[in-house]
Structure 1
């Protein structure tokens, strides 16, 4: 199975917080999942913890490498820039990732994240969906210390909603 590609400064183990969630399900393919994940305006329909998605500079509705966008999640207004976008094709997983941030640079409430997704077809008519996120800053350290972990639970809700939405389509 494939792995997330981490940019410098966001490698797990060297940031204040890291979470990883994964599902493997039968009866769906990467082609079923990708349209729901690659179009941020679709997220709120199946993931209640995302809202108010918008793109900048006339971009969207589908993500593309370099695109700037905004959404709200976990109580944070997130500015984001897509820094990896590779749609799935036969024999190659889909990859999408963004750098997200909230707060002013250098401020105590500044949060920086790298949120990455990998969607790959497996044998036997199965699909694997992996989402991982690293976070930097004081808010990230606070999230890492919170039990139960809101990031793990929230991202699991995102995965579960994504699978349910794909099954409905």
Structure 2
């Protein structure tokens, strides 16, 4: 199976927080999942922790490499930039990742994240959806110490909603 490609400064184990969530489900493909992930205006429809989505510079509705966008999540206003975008192609995992941040550079409450997704078709009509995020900054350290872990639970809600939305569209 494929894995996430990490940029310098965001490799798990060397950041202030890291979370990983994954589902493998039958009856869906990477092509079924992709439009619900790559079109962020759809996120609030199936994931309650995403709001106020905007794509900048007249781009969209689907995200592309280099696109800048904004959304609110986990109580943070998050400007973001797409740093990896590989739509589904037979025989290759689909990938999308963004760098997001909250706060001013150098501020004590600054948060920087790398949020990556990998969607890959598996044998027997199954699809694997992996989402991993690394974070740096004081808010990341607070999130890492919280129990239950809000990032693990939030991202699992995102995965569950994503799968449900794709299943409903296919029905």
TM-score by length of 1: 0.99
- Please tell me the root mean square deviation across aligned C-alpha atoms, in Å: 0.4
1:52 maps to 2:36: no
For structure 1, the 5+ residue unaligned runs are none
The ranges of structure 1 where at least 4 consecutive aligned residues each deviate by more than 3 angstroms after the TM superposition are: none
1:115 maps to 2:115: yes
What is the 5 A alignment of 1:15-164?
15-164=15-164
Name the CA distance, whole Å, in 2 between partners of 1:38 and 1:3: 19
Name the CA distance, whole Å, in 2 between partners of 1:60 and 1:139: 30
Deviation larger for 120-129 or 52-61: 52-61
Name the CA distance, whole Å, in 1 between partners of 2:79 and 2:153: 22
Counterpart secondary structure, 2:18: strand
Counterpart secondary structure, 1:81: strand
Name the CA distance, whole Å, in 1 between partners of 2:86 and 2:30: 12
TM-score by length of 2: 0.98
For structure 2, the 5+ residue unaligned runs are none
Counterpart secondary structure, 1:124: helix
